[in-house]
Amino acid sequence: MFRYYDPNIKENKNIIIKGYKGRQSRQTVDVIDCTQVINTWSKSRHKDAPQQALAILNKMTAVYRKDSNHHNNRPSSIRPNVFAYTGVINAFARRGDYNGAMGVFKLQLNDYKNEHNERAKPNVITFSAMIDACSKSDREDIPEIAEKLVATIDAWYDRGDLEEGPNTITYNSAINCWSKSNRPEALGRALGILDTMISKYEDGNEAARPNTITYNSIIDAHARQGDIDGANKVFTMMNNYATPNIQTYNILIHSWSKSDSPDAPTQAESLLMGIINGLEERPNTITYNVVINCWSKSNRPEGPSRALNILNTMIAKYKEEEDGSNQQAAVRPDTITYAAVMDAYARQGDVDGTNMVFKMMKEDYNSGNKNATPNIKSYTILIDAWSKSNNHDAPKEAQRLLMEMIDLYNNGELEESPGTATYNAVINCWSKSIHRPKAPSHALDILKTMITMYNDEDCNKKIRPNVVTYAAVMDAHARRGDIEGTNLVFSMMKADYSSGNTNAKPNLFTYNILLDAWANSGNLNAPIEVENILQEIKKKIKEGPDIYTITTMIKCLKQYHWSEERIQELEVEYFSATDIVFGRIA
Domain parsing of the chain, residue ranges = 256-374, 386-487, 507-586
pLDDT tens digits for range 20-51 = 444 444 457 899 999 999 999 999 999 899 99
Report how far residue 550's alpha carbon sits from residue 516's, in angstroms, rounded to the nearest whole number.
11
Q: Is the pLDDT of residue 333 over 80?
A: yes
Neighbours of 188 (CB within 10 A): 11
Rounded Cα distance, 432 and 391, in Å: 10
Residue 15 binned pLDDT confidence (cut-offs 50, 70, 90): very low
Percent of the chain residues topping a pLDDT of 90? 76
Contact 287, 253 (CB under 8 A): yes
* CA separation, residue 520 to residues 88, 432, 530, 581 (Å): 71, 15, 12, 26
- pLDDT, tens digit (0-9, with 9 covering 90-100), for 416-428: 999 999 999 999 9
Structure confidence at residue 66 (pLDDT):
85
Distance of alpha carbon 409 from alpha carbon 93, whole angstroms: 44
Identify whether the C-beta of residue 59 lies closer than 8 Å to the C-beta of residue 96: no
Q: Model's pTM, two decimal places?
A: 0.75
Question: Does pLDDT of 158 surpass 90?
Answer: yes
* Predicted confidence (pLDDT) at residue 157 exceeds the cutoff of 70: yes
Q: Are 478 and 440 in contact (CB under 8 A)?
A: no
H or E stretch including 571? Answer: helix 564-574
Q: Is 280 exposed, middle or buried (0-12, 13-18, 19+ CB in 10 A)?
A: exposed
pLDDT tens-digit series, residues 287-303: 999 999 999 999 899 99
pLDDT recorded at residue 4: 36
Give CA–CA dist 215/271, Å, rounded: 17
In the chain, the N- to C-terminal Cα span, in Å, equals 81
CB 508 within 8 A of CB 472: no
**pLDDT at residue 3 in the model:** 41
Question: What mean pLDDT comes out for the span 48-59?
Answer: 95
Q: pLDDT band for 327, please (50, 70, 90 cuts).
A: low
Confidence class of residue 326 from pLDDT cuts 50, 70 and 90?
low
The span from the CA of 264 to the CA of 298, in Å, is: 8
Q: What is the mean pLDDT of residues 81-98?
A: 95
φ/ψ bin of 30: left (φ > 0), alpha (ψ from -120 to 50), beta (otherwise): beta
**For 425-480, what is each residue's pLDDT tens digit?**
999 999 988 778 899 999 999 999 999 999 886 666 789 999 999 999 999 999 99
Q: How confident is the model at residue 576 (pLDDT cuts 50, 70, 90)?
A: low
The amino acid that residue 213 corresponds to is I
Does residue 285 register a pLDDT over 90? yes
Q: How confident is the model at residue 71 (pLDDT cuts 50, 70, 90)?
A: low
- Total residues found in the chain within this entry: 586
pLDDT band with cut points at 50, 70 and 90 for residue 154? very high
Check if the beta carbon of residue 2 is closer than 8 Å to that of residue 18.
no
Task: Inform me whether the pLDDT recorded for 312 exceeds 80.
Answer: yes
